[in-house]
Structure 1
Amino acid sequence: MSTSSSARRDLFSSIFSLAIIASALFVTQRFVLPLLWAVILCIATWPLYLRVLRACRGHTIAAAAATTLISALVFVTPLVLGVVQAAHQAPALALMVANANNAGIGAPQWLLHLPLAGAEIYDWWAATLGQPHGLAHLLQDGSIARLHSASEVLRTVGANALHRMIDVGFAFMALFFFYKDGLALRGQVSAIGDHLIGTGRWELYSTKIPTAVRATVNGLVLVGLAEGVLLGLSYELAGVPSAVLWAAATGVLAIIPFGAPLAFGAVALVLLLKGSTVAAICIVVWGTAVLFVADHFVRPTIIGNATALPFLAVLLGILGGVETLGLIGLFVGPVVMTLFVTLWHEEKLFGRERE
């Protein structure tokens, strides 16, 4: 066979393979996001699965079921608690949102006493939030403009929550199969990687991905939940209404960099509107202190030390991932930056060898 015929056959073979991959992604596009979450959870908890597998004496189905249950309890329990608390507060909250959207929210008089731009903030509030449907214009979301009653708010929020719960359920179902067939999948992926980029390079890069995922999960999720607990205790002491619900929201937002200030800032605003100025100031001070320690010491230490990434690379990976891919970018971004830094050091090493 001539060289040109061989090259043509390789080209057609590559096009055929890419067409199959593209078709599979097109058919399963609705489930790509839950599958990615399952992959991240599987990588993050794989050492736990291996321990459970040894305890189950090699019975993969029992070990996969047990580890999936443990993972669900760890990651879903806080979500369920937050949903339960939200359900208790949903009617009152929905009525408040609907009324605020329809009638407007009056600007509090204490804004006029703020230094520097107090009067400007008061005027802006009165011109936006203080007007009927001002909340809808501020958020620039057409769905909010159509919310005229508490039942409509509940129906919209409930539909979105049900959609998310279906995704969560599918992700944990996929997680079970990833555990069960994980050893075989890892061997198949390693064989493909060895074939495409060579054994040495594949071993170098494949070891970086699990480390980056586990470090990111520990540095973002676990630290974020810890922030939610610490700030939740302060909410309870300050007498914040629905303190558990606010704590759950803080824990979720704290996973995202700079998300926690939105939560404890909203809590402080609620306290200010109630007239509890001292409690609001204490919440802001305590929240700022917790956030400073977590974001400047704990998270960079956990993620940076495990992945050998500089702090700037960690920050760019997290923020860039969120900006580009949404919530799942929190975990994909640091992995990409880890691979990039690995490539950077590899190229430097190759450059020295060539010299």
Structure 2
Amino acid sequence: MVKLRQPMDVPQILLSVLFLSVMIIACVWIVQPFILGFAWAGTVVIATWPLMLRLQQILWGRRSLAVLVMTLLLILLLVIPVALLVNSLVDNSAPLVHWLSSGQMTLPDLAWLNSVPMVGAKLYAGWHNLVDSGGSAIMAKLRPYIGTTTTWFIGQAAHIGRFMMHCALMLLFAALLYWRGERVAQGFRHFATRLASSRGDAAVVLAAQAIRAVALGVVVTALVQGILGGVGIAIAGIQYATILTVVMVLSCLVQLGPLPVLIPCIIWLYWSGDTTWGTVLLVWSCVVGTLDNVIRPVLIRMGADLPMVLILSGVIGGLIAFGMIGLFIGPVVLAVSWRLFYAWVQESPAPHKPVDEVIENVADEQQKAK
């Protein structure tokens, strides 16, 4: 007996899709103020989950005590230092922004070139020939853009109220995730399994590994190197130590290390005649510059080697899109996407045929089609 196919109720399907779309948009709209705080908390909790379980074992198996200790550690080691760093950056950057935005910024004279043996006079004359032939005009054209760019970067850190709100939300969500972490993880895995069966479950596990790899291997290493380098700069008496510390953290996040900031400071100390602190900072820079070779292998153990371009794009794009919090969220989002994309590509075997053979096959198929 042939069964007749029921006709499709197109209006019902369209209205169902419209209703679901409206509900999803409404839900996203409602939870939008909490998305960044929850994403930050999720990153922190996933990265520190093994530490929380170890604390729970030490504290007589009581989850409440472990959650309390982890929350206090987050306040002392993450929230307070970052908040003080941002606040100090805003306070100390006003003179720098005023100087860059004003018309007083000119190219340096570089009179010290005359003291360079043999070639110093020629270098000094060549530099001033460049300045006289149009260097001042170039500086006048670049000055507005430099001032605007610097003001924008400082403005990202100036939203202290919004940043502190996200910090408070992060602490709240982190405490909740620590308390019910297993249930939340099971819920995500169940939802992913419902969407894509075992592949969805594998995607969630890979995403968690990528988050832990970036949070520990990239962000924590950058913060440790940047803060230690900033301490050395401040003790050595370099001005604008806070701003240089922030630049150093950014440099470490994009995998350039702290040396692009520390080396000019060392040169400046030696050039100004302060050889004692210059030597101290030189030794300290050697320690801080090689610290990532010790910290990163300990923190990142799942072998998630991420391309430098990916981390650089995540840091800069996250800063532009989300402000200071984007420094932590941007690399994580791109790392998760990269791991999932890489796993999906690896499901198919790589091509082994020579290029000439592939081209001949394509040409044969085109001839047959004609």
TM above 0.5, yes or no, is: yes
Report whether the alignment pairs 1:306 with 2:299. Answer: no
1:257 aligns with 2:255: yes
2:314 matched residue in structure 1? 321
Match of 1:148 in 2: none
Equivalent position of 1:140 in the other structure: 148
In the TM superposition, residue 197 of structure 1 has moved relative to its aligned partner by 0.7
Does structure 1 residue 105 correspond to structure 2 residue 99? no
Q: Unmatched 5+ residue regions in structure 2?
A: 114-119, 320-326, 353-370
Q: For residues 113-163 of structure 1, what are the alpha-carbon distances to aligned partners after superposition, in whole Å with 9 as ceiling and x for unaligned? A: 38598447756774466x6x975432435968xxxxxxxx9xx79852233
Listed one character per residue, the Cα deviations across residues 162-209 of structure 1 (whole Å, up to 9, x for unaligned) are 3322222222222222222322222222211111111x3233222222
> What residue number does 1:64 align with?
67
* Distance (whole Å) between structure 1 residues aligned to residue 151 and residue 233 of structure 2: 31
Query: Would the aligned equivalents of 2:100 and 2:146 in 1 still touch at CA under 8 Å?
Result: no
Cα shift readout 1:238-267 (whole Å, capped 9, x = no counterpart): 442365774465245423333746643674
- The offset of 1:45, in angstroms, is 1.5
> 2:87 touches 2:160 (CA, 8 Å); kept in 1?
no
Q: String of CA shifts for 1:11-61, please: whole Å, max 9, x gaps.
A: 765554443222211233233222211111121122223334445566555
Distance 1:320 1:181 in 2: 33
Stretch deviating more after TM superposition (189-198 or 3-12) = 3-12
- Match in the other structure for 2:82: 79
Matched residues in 2 for 1:215 and 1:33: separation?
Answer: 20
Q: Kindly indicate whether structure 1 or structure 2 has the higher relative contact order, using CA contacts under 8 Å at least 6 residues apart.
A: 2
Q: Is the 8 A contact 1:208 1:338 kept in 2?
A: yes
Cα offset for 1:285? 10
Whole-angstrom CA distance in 1 between matches of 2:273 and 2:109: 11
Matched residues in 2 for 1:17 and 1:221: separation? 38
Going from structure 1 to structure 2, the CA distance change for 1:17 and 1:157 (only over 3 Å counts) comes to closer
Asked if residue 228 in structure 1 is aligned to residue 226 in structure 2, the reply is yes
In the aligned structure 1, how far is the partner of 2:303 from the partner of 2:157? 39
Q: Which sections of structure 1, spanning at least 5 residues, go unmatched? A: 145-152
In 1: Cα distance, 2:18 partner to 2:107 partner: 62
Is structure 2 residue 42 aligned with structure 1 residue 39? yes
Conserved in 2, the CA contact under 8 Å of 1:228 and 1:254? yes
Contact 2:89 2:242 in 1 (8 A): no
Match of 2:24 among 21, 24, 27: 21
Q: Is this contact kept in 1: 2:43–2:211, CA < 8 A?
A: yes
Moved more, 135-144 or 65-74: 135-144
**Which residue in 2 is equivalent to 1:336?**
337
Q: Could you say what secondary structure the match of 2:302 adopts?
A: helix
Q: Residue 308 of structure 1: CA displacement?
A: 4.7
Q: Distance in 2 between matches of 1:40 and 1:325?
A: 14
Question: Quick one: which amino acid aligns to residue 191 of structure 1?
Answer: H
Q: How does 1:195-234 map to 2 (within 5 A)?
A: 195-198=194-197, 200-232=198-230, 234=232
Task: Name the CA distance, whole Å, in 1 between partners of 2:302 and 2:267.
Answer: 38
Q: CA 1:40/1:339 → structure 2, altered by over 3 Å: closer, same or farther?
A: same
Shift in CA distance, 303/58, structure 1 to aligned 2, threshold 3 Å = closer
How many residues are treated as equivalent by the alignment?
Answer: 329
Give the deviation of 1:300 after TM superposition.
Answer: 7.7
The one-letter code sitting in structure 1 at the alignment partner of 2:256 is: F
Partners of 1:303 and 1:314 within 8 A in 2? no
- Give the RMSD, CA atoms, in angstroms: 4.5
Change (3 A) 1:290 1:143: closer
Equivalents in 2 of 1:232, 1:216: separation in Å?
A: 22
| Equivalent position SS for 1:347 | coil
Instruction: Tell me how far apart the structure 2 counterparts of residues 6 and 182 of structure 1 sit (CA, whole Å).
Output: 42
Higher mean displacement: 41-50 or 95-104: 95-104
Percentage of pairs with the same residue: 22
